[in-house]
A and B are shown apart, each in its own frame.
Chain A
């Protein structure tokens, strides 16, 4: 069966510090991978998606970037965090061309 791992679960970082959140998927090949941010009352906002290694699409301009160095690994990064980057970040995967997405447990990021 497929599983998705996302870490860390919580993170407190000072303004201006770098960020690296990692997500890995097991039990499937060539998944579509996604990073979402969830803010209270605003639902899930798609930040990045990837349909293959090295292929990253950004949905919204922001202070964040994403990379996919391996087929089942997706990384969310920032060089310098802003207070507005605080939120609940979720990684997800889906099979190619399929809408059903499966989520990791999320990372609650607080920038102080």
Chain B
């Protein structure tokens, strides 16, 4: 079993839809939770960063963490064609003084105009 599971998609939605992206994990030692957006042939870009269970909002993006269920989500409201990208979840644990990060395989999102 992988430490982090993420549905690869692709996920195709119409413009303006609410998008829900999810990851599950098995390692209880994960402390920090992140979402990255990656456009084709580019490096990942950090979108959201959370520590505790609950919701964190930034503009059209909301990150949700449920540590009891080992489940994290990213919601995108009023999705735009420019949101079309691959979204990677990531989680980290303390490993000998540095934060070891484990990434999901990414979900490819396409927002259709």
Contact = CB atoms under 8 A, between A and B. Distances in A.
Q: DSSP majority for the B interface?
A: strand
Interface residues of B, number: 26
Contacts, number: 56
A46 B99 contact: no
B9 to A, nearest CB: 11
Interface stretch (B11-19, B37-45, B58-66, B73-81): B37-45
A99 B34 contact: yes
A47 B42 CA distance: 19
A66 interface: no
B34 A106 contact: no
A97 B99 CA distance: 6
Interface in B14-68: 31-32, 34, 36, 41-46, 49
Interface of B: 4, 6, 8, 31-32, 34, 36, 41-46, 49, 88, 90, 92, 97-101, 103-106
Interface of A: 6, 32, 41-44, 46, 49, 51, 88, 90, 92, 94, 96-106, 108
